[in-house]
């Protein structure tokens, strides 16, 4: 990464750039072309920074996930309430495996 500060363009350069942008916009408007985008950034070295937010569960969320995870929901939906005693045992085993992981 390059941490050098960006150089600010001179006043004359900024005035010339603004005048050219205005001239270009007026002619494009008159001729029916798409207007150019106005960048608010200074020319030179710029970098885009992206940030990723990650969910980090607390202790309560981890216990809740261990007791009833998506695997439990899938098992219950796949078998239903017809054999609830066997499913209670299987879900207990799945909960033990999830808590170990």
pLDDT tens sequence across 47-59: 677 778 888 888 9
DSSP H helices in the chain: 11-31, 59-67, 70-79, 84-100
Confidence at residue 78, expressed as pLDDT on a 0 to 100 scale: 82
> CA dist 53 to 49, 56, 65, 95, Å?
13, 9, 20, 28
Secondary structure (DSSP) of 35-47: PPPPP-SPSS---
Confidence at residue 74, expressed as pLDDT on a 0 to 100 scale: 87
Instruction: Report the C-alpha gap between 10 and 67 in whole angstroms.
Output: 64
Q: Please give the radius of gyration of the chain, using alpha carbons only, rounded to the nearest integer.
A: 31
Confidence at residue 66, expressed as pLDDT on a 0 to 100 scale: 83
Confidence at residue 1, expressed as pLDDT on a 0 to 100 scale: 61
- List, for the chain, all residue ranges whose pLDDT scores fall below the cut of 50: 42
Confidence at residue 84, expressed as pLDDT on a 0 to 100 scale: 78
HSE at residue 14, side-chain half, CA atoms within 13 A, is: 9
Backbone angles phi, psi at 59, to 5 degrees: -65, -40
């Amino acid at each position: 990464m390059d941490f050098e500060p960006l150089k600010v363009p001179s006043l004359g350069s900024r005035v010339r750039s603004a005048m050219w942008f205005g001239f270009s916009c007026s002619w494009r408007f008159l001729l029916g072309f798409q207007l150019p985008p106005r960048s608010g950034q200074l020319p030179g070295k710029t970098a885009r920074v992206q940030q990723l937010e990650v969910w980090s569960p607390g202790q309560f969320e981890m216990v809740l996930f261990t007791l009833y995870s998506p695997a439990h929901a899938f098992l219950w939906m796949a078998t239903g309430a017809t054999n609830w005693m066997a499913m209670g045992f299987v879900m207990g085993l799945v909960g033990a495996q999830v808590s170990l992981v």
